Amino acid sequence: MNTAEFLTSPALSRAGFRHAFFTRNGGASVGPYASLSFSIAVGDHPDNVRENLVRAARALDVAPDKLFFLSQVHGRDVHRVDAESSRETVLVTEGDALVSSDPSVGVGVRSADCVPVLIADQKTGSVAAVHAGWRGVELGAVAAAVRHLAAEPRDLVAAIGPHISLEAFEVSDEVAARLRACSPDPNVVSLRPGARPHVDLRRLVRAQLVSLGLAPSAVDDVPGCTMLEPGRFFSFRRDGAKSGRHLSAIVPRGLHA
């Protein structure tokens, strides 16, 4: 199969934004990276990753050298790109969110348990892609991306993609306390007798988006647990360092689209 497999958000599709939450299927990579992986740094062969990029770009209808993602560091730095940006330069730039208003490019983030969030401004056509691991969630990566869109929150629509689920995301007491502290919804931590705490990152990110002014109905869930569904998703927590990385990406919409 040489067609990249991906999931979509009904809300983003209705608003006219091309986007994709790519699964692990439909790529050229082999072994622990089989098959649609987007990271050379974890050990995958560069030729395979380049081919996977071509397939993803085809699915999004953008040129491969205009499909951007950063060197992610679990922070909250946001960068803006357009058609004049160099993919090689962006790739080595540290940050965890990209924004753009140029409909000839795609902006994306890579993940393998962390939360990918795609945000679109229905009024201006601008978009953001956010990598929200638990550290980025705590630091305010989602809020930083919303601010960089320079938008009215009521005009935004967002989709939260597949990531490690409440059932699988077991953490220490300290991490649970830190994530509860940064959540507008206090009920994001699940305490079970005889077990370590579990955290609902989907619920937490949704609460952050709504607290920023997005309408609850404008925050879409694209389901899937990276750790518990090995046939569809990569998972660092499940498989360790030698694991692929997904891509989640979105394309700005022209004002007259």
For 58-107, give the DSSP string.
Answer: HHHTS-GGGEE--B--SS--EEE--TTS-HHHHHTSB-SEEEE--TT-EE
How many other C-beta atoms are found inside a 10 Å radius of the C-beta of residue 255? 10
Model-level pTM greater than 0.95?
Answer: yes
- Own/partner pairs, 204-207, CB within 8 angstroms, 24+ separation: 204/137, 204/179, 205/115, 205/117, 205/132, 205/137, 205/142, 205/160, 206/160, 207/183
> In this structure, is the dihedral angle defined by the CA atoms of residues 54, 58, 60 and 64, taken in order, positive or negative?
positive
Of 117, 75, 120, 76, nearest to 100 by C-alpha is 120
The owner of tokens 């987007």 is 38
Residue 108 is classified by DSSP as E
The per-residue pLDDT for 2 is: 83
Tell me phi and psi for residue 27, to 5 degrees: -115, -170
Measured N-to-C along each axis, helices 141-149 and 201-211 cross at an angle, to the nearest 10 degrees, of 40
Q: What is the DSSP letter of 236?
A: H
What is the distance between the alpha carbons of residues 236 and 227, in angstroms, rounded to a whole number? 8
pLDDT at 1: 63
From first to last of the 257 residues of the chain, give the pLDDT tens digit: 689 999 999 999 999 999 999 999 999 999 999 999 999 999 999 999 999 999 999 999 999 999 999 999 999 999 999 999 999 999 999 999 999 999 999 999 999 999 999 999 999 999 999 999 999 999 999 999 999 997 799 999 999 999 999 999 999 999 999 999 999 999 999 998 889 999 999 999 999 999 999 999 999 999 999 999 999 999 999 999 899 999 999 999 986 55
Q: What CA–CA distances, in Å, run from 18 to 241, 244, 249? A: 31, 24, 9
Report the pLDDT value the prediction gives residue 52, as an integer from 0 to 100: 98
Q: What is the pLDDT of residue 192?
A: 87
Return d(Cα 217, Cα 157) in angstroms, integer. Answer: 9
- Nearest 5°: the CA angle 174, 182, 226 is 75
Are β-strands 78-80 and 97-100 bridged in parallel, bridged antiparallel, or unpaired? Answer: parallel
Cβ 110 vs Cβ 72: under 8 Å: yes
Q: Return the CATH number of the domain spanning residue range 6-250.
A: 3.60.140.10
